[in-house]
């Protein structure tokens, strides 16, 4: 493992724009929480929670850059790459708790709709829409070059829809006096958070459980390795994700003739890189005699 290799990636090139988008969004989350408390709008508070998902997504994109550049240590041989995963886990848990609160508050407001200051609510939501549009403008270029930036871009894009929802709720209350618009929109935004957060939580759990990356077909990978001339068996195959965009693989390849080890290893590494996009591979080449000596150690 070597640190400092991510500085030339597409994501790293957009680090400054990611930083600006994060600063804008985080500042507006605070403003939206204050605005929601002052106006009494649940829709604004729900949208603030929704924008918190953007803050989390943008922060994780930056974390992936910053921590990937840190050198590994004797105590942390993978460096700090898993910090991105741990941050995402915290973000997902907090968002699910916020959603529970939003839905409970919406239920209370259905029973007794409070007075809402729809004018200030509209102003705050309109500012939020502008912030989202600016952030989208900052990230649109990198969204076609980096998966990390693309994820952050779609976070901001989805939040723009939330801001539009709050604007619609404010206008309905101003023109029609329909106070239920606020808890309905608020609950809708809260529910919109759940599938995205649940999916994120599943992905994080899969990574922490050392699950096979979803883009890798283990059966096909085994067949490709088995097709290498000289390979007679494969065992102890493991494929896992260190952090998003960084997969690893280890396995033992049994060969008929150990003099072919260099050629077999080169071909196996080429298959992993070109056909499965995995650069970080550890492959042990052994013959049947060595394999039989390991039988006691492996199920």
Instruction: Give per-residue pLDDT as tens, 17-33.
Output: 778 888 888 888 888 88
The answer for residues whose C-beta is within 8 angstroms of residue 195's C-beta and 6 or more apart is: none
* Structural domain total, the chain: 2
Any domain includes 213: no
Any domain includes 60: yes
Same domain, 193 and 249: no
Helices (H), 177-297: 181-208, 218-226, 261-276, 288-294
Helix (H, G, I), strand (E, B) or coil at 141: coil
Q: What is the pLDDT of residues 60-97, one digit of tens each?
A: 767 766 766 677 777 777 777 777 777 777 777 877 88
Look at residues 208, 226, 254 and tell me which one is the last residue of a structural domain.
Answer: 208
**Mean pLDDT within 271-299:** 82
Q: What is the pLDDT of residues 94-116, one digit of tens each?
A: 778 878 888 888 888 788 777 78
Domain encompassing residue 173? 5-208
Same domain, 167 and 274: no
Cβ proximity of 42 and 183 under 8 Å: yes
Any domain includes 18: yes
pLDDT in the model for residue 255: 93
Same domain, 176 and 231: no
- Cα–Cα dist 53/189, whole Å: 12
Same domain, 204 and 224: no
Percent of the chain predicted with pLDDT > 90: 20
pLDDT in the model for residue 143: 56
Rg (CA), the chain: 25
CATH code for the domain in which residue 254 is found = 3.30.70.1350
Any domain includes 181: yes
Any domain includes 199: yes
Any domain includes 106: yes
Confidence of residue 131 (pLDDT cuts 50, 70, 90): confident
Same domain, 238 and 192: no
The answer to which of 23-32, 47-56, 211-220, 244-253 has the lowest mean pLDDT is 47-56
CATH code for the domain in which residue 39 is found = 1.20.1510
**Mean pLDDT within 221-241:** 93
Cβ proximity of 141 and 65 under 8 Å: no
149: β partners = none
The encoded tokens of residue 216 equal 């890798």
240: β partners = 248
- Cα–Cα dist 296/298, whole Å: 6
Look at residues 146, 181, 208 and tell me which one is the last residue of a structural domain.
Answer: 208
Q: Which helix (H) or strand (E) holds 124?
A: helix 118-139
Same domain, 89 and 192: yes
Same domain, 20 and 68: yes
Helix (H, G, I), strand (E, B) or coil at 232: strand
238: β partners = 250
Any domain includes 238: yes
For tokens 């608020």, the residue is 186
Question: Between the CA of residue 183 and those of 96, 215, 278, what are the distances in Å?
Answer: 18, 40, 47
**Mean pLDDT within 48-65:** 75
Same domain, 155 and 11: yes
Helix (H, G, I), strand (E, B) or coil at 64: helix
What is the maximum alpha-carbon separation in the chain? 83
Any domain includes 176: yes
Same domain, 227 and 125: no
Look at residues 208, 229, 259 and tell me which one is the last residue of a structural domain.
Answer: 208
Same domain, 170 and 111: yes
Provide the whole-model pTM.
0.70
Same domain, 87 and 107: yes
Q: How many CA atoms lie within 13 A of 62 on its CB side?
A: 16
Same domain, 232 and 196: no
């Amino acid at each position: 493992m070597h640190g400092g290799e991510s500085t030339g990636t597409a994501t790293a090139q957009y680090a400054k724009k990611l930083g600006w988008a994060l600063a804008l969004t985080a500042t507006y989350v605070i403003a939206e929480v204050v605005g929601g408390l002052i106006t009494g709008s649940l829709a604004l508070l729900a949208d603030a929670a929704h924008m918190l998902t953007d803050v989390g997504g943008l922060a994780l994109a930056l974390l992936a850059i910053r921590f990937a550049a840190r050198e590994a240590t004797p105590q942390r041989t993978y460096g700090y790459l898993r910090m991105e995963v741990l941050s995402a886990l915290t973000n997902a848990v907090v968002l699910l708790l916020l959603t529970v609160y939003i839905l409970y508050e919406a239920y209370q407001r259905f029973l007794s709709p409070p007075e809402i200051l729809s004018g200030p609510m509209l102003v705050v939501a309109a500012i939020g829409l502008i912030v989202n549009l600016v952030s989208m403008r900052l990230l649109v270029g990198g969204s076609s070059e980096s998966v990390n930036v693309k994820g952050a871009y779609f976070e901001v894009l989805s939040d723009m829809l939330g801001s539009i929802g709050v604007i619609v709720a404010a206008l309905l209350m101003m023109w029609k006096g329909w106070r239920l618009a606020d808890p309905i929109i608020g609950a809708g935004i809260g529910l919109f958070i759940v599938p995205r957060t649940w999916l994120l939580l599943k992905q994080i759990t899969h990574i922490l459980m050392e699950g096979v990356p979803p883009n890798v077909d283990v059966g096909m990978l085994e067949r490709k390795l088995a097709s290498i001339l000289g390979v007679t068996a494969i065992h102890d195959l493991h494929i896992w994700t260190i952090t998003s965009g960084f997969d690893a693989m280890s396995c033992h390849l049994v060969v008929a003739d150990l003099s072919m080890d260099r050629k077999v290893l080169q071909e196996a590494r080429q298959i992993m890189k070109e056909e499965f996009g995995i650069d970080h591979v550890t492959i042990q080449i052994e013959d049947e005699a060595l394999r039989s000596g390991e039988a006691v150690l492996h199920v």
